[in-house]
Structure 1
Amino acid sequence: MTVLTELLSNRWLWTAVVASTSAQLLKVLLILLLEWRWHPAAFMETGGMPSSHSAMVAALSTGVGLTEGWNTPVFAVAAAFAMIVMYDATGVRHSSGVQAKLLNELVDELRAVVREGFAPKPLKVLLGHTYLEVLIGSLIGVLVGWFSFRVL
């Protein structure tokens, strides 16, 4: 079996990718339904509802737990990895988004005072996630993982 064939048949990897993709698609649909605007670029953006990173690692952990067992070293690694990703999404990355918002406001105030030659690019604000966004992303991941390994 070639490396490419092995990668293409790796059910755990593709389950994680499907979960992440599903969360990103849901993000675009939620913007359409709640804000009445078509924003397909949101598919490639980080942050927002739901967390695709959380969906990905939750699906991976669920698939590993269902196939390898909940009391195995490989599940422990997958679960620890998932916890780190989710903690980072709500902690460091969320704080960075809040700081970016404040810095953008300061730049706007400075722009009003210093009119010539002062044109820095705004920082990206949606970097991290709220706890609810991570929770919903995780639930999507668990459902996709369960469906992939118990239904298909």
Structure 2
Amino acid sequence: MAELLAAVGKNVVLMSALTAWFLAQVLKTLTSYWKHRRFRAERLVGAGGMPSSHTSLVVGLASAVALHDGVTSALFAVSIVLAGIVMYDAAGVRRAAGKQAKVINKLVREMRVEHTIKETRLKELLGHTPLEVMAGAFLGFFVAFLFHRFF
């Protein structure tokens, strides 16, 4: 088992992607603290926020594959398509779902005043703004570049 973990730890492509994701989660927690002036542990693993950790992960992966195998490799093609889908989902579908959750939460609050309705709070912070996605993409590329250059 130790040999397997050591071998995985030497995989520069995987380590680039995972490091980009981890750094994005830490940065997300710090930007949330700066914005709200309180520590929210949920930000270490939760969706939404600045920068997009999903984007950092897939752009870090695609960039590391491009630097390791070249942009003409089949693996790069797969990873760049995956990155495109994830980034579209983060800024499009999940962001729209978060906006809908906000409206539904408001309706539930208003209905509780007039009628008896069970309070069910939907998660509103699901997606990302285009800036959050771009920041995640930059972080992912930067981490992959550093791994390629120094490891």
1:1-150 paired onto structure 2 within 5 Å = 4-115=5-116, 118-150=117-149
Encode CA deviations 1:113-146: one digit per residue, 9 max, x unaligned. 113xx22320000111110000000000000000
Distance in 2, matches of 1:60 and 1:43, equals 20
Distance in 2, matches of 1:151 and 1:39, equals 33
Q: Which amino acid aligns with 2:43?
A: A
Residues 13 and 68 of structure 2 are in contact (CA less than 8 Å); yes or no, is this contact kept in structure 1? Answer: no
Encode CA deviations 1:9-60: one digit per residue, 9 max, x unaligned. 3221221111011001001111222332222221111001110000000100
Distance in 2, matches of 1:21 and 1:137, equals 11
Encode CA deviations 1:39-92: one digit per residue, 9 max, x unaligned. 222111100111000000010011000010112211111111101100111111
Distance in 2, matches of 1:121 and 1:143, equals 40
Could you say what the CA RMSD is over the residues aligned between the two structures, in angstroms?
Answer: 1.6
Count of equivalent residues:
150
Give TM-score, length-normalised by structure 1.
Answer: 0.91
Distance in 2, matches of 1:24 and 1:69, equals 28
Distance in 1, matches of 2:62 and 2:7, equals 20
Distance in 2, matches of 1:69 and 1:13, equals 16
The runs of 5 or more residues in structure 2 that have no matched partner are none
Q: Which amino acid aligns with 2:147?
A: S
Secondary structure of 2:128 counterpart: coil
The runs of 5 or more residues in structure 1 that have no matched partner are none
Instruction: Give the fraction of aligned pairs with identical amino acids, expressed as a percent.
Output: 40
Distance in 2, matches of 1:91 and 1:98, equals 11
Encode CA deviations 1:88-109: one digit per residue, 9 max, x unaligned. 1111111100000000000001
Residues 65 and 75 of structure 2 are in contact (CA less than 8 Å); yes or no, is this contact kept in structure 1? Answer: yes
Give TM-score, length-normalised by structure 2.
Answer: 0.92
